[in-house]
Amino acid sequence: MGTHANEARPMGQAPALLPRHLPVADWDQLLNAVKDQLRMSVAEERAAMAEPLATRVRKAVLEGVEALDLLHASVTRERDHYQQLDRQLQELRADQARMRDQLHVGAAKPAAAGGVAGGA
């Protein structure tokens, strides 16, 4: 993962751009980083710092929203991919059922024809 949500940035600096896609394996890491950042923004030991609480919370929330946007986009992309795979699987199953039916019909015809020919 290129950017961690809990990395400190100088005051007034824009949030770092996160990648457009986040691998599924990194989802837990990013979610945990967001939670840690939000907890750290209101932690008592940081209250003595020069940066006011409201500013820290604002920055942490904006970073969290940015990370959640990335996760949301990744989840949407994965869901769409799984839905496409599910549709393909359903089509393959339907094709398989049709082929099975055709094989049964094709196998039944020669047997019926052979039975008629043998009885004549």
How many domains, the chain? 1
Q: Which range marks the domain in which residue 44 is found?
A: 25-119
Would you state the pLDDT for residue 6?
Answer: 40
The verdict on residue 38 lying in a domain is yes
Find the Cα–Cα–Cα–Cα dihedral 47, 53, 59, 65, rounded to 10°.
Answer: 100
The verdict on residue 3 lying in a domain is no
How much is the mean pLDDT over the chain? Answer: 75
Distance separating alpha carbons of residues 110 and 107, to the nearest angstrom: 6
- pLDDT tens-digit profile of 75-110? 898 899 999 999 999 999 999 999 999 998 888 776
Would you state the pLDDT for residue 83?
Answer: 94
The verdict on residue 96 lying in a domain is yes
Is the model's pTM score more than 0.85? no
pLDDT over 90 (residue 23): no
| Phi, psi at 23, each rounded to 5° | -60, 145
Would you state the pLDDT for residue 11?
Answer: 37
Give the residue-averaged pLDDT of 17-34.
78
The verdict on residue 33 lying in a domain is yes
- pLDDT tens-digit profile of 42-76? 776 655 566 777 887 888 888 888 888 888 888 89
The verdict on residue 89 lying in a domain is yes
The verdict on residue 1 lying in a domain is no
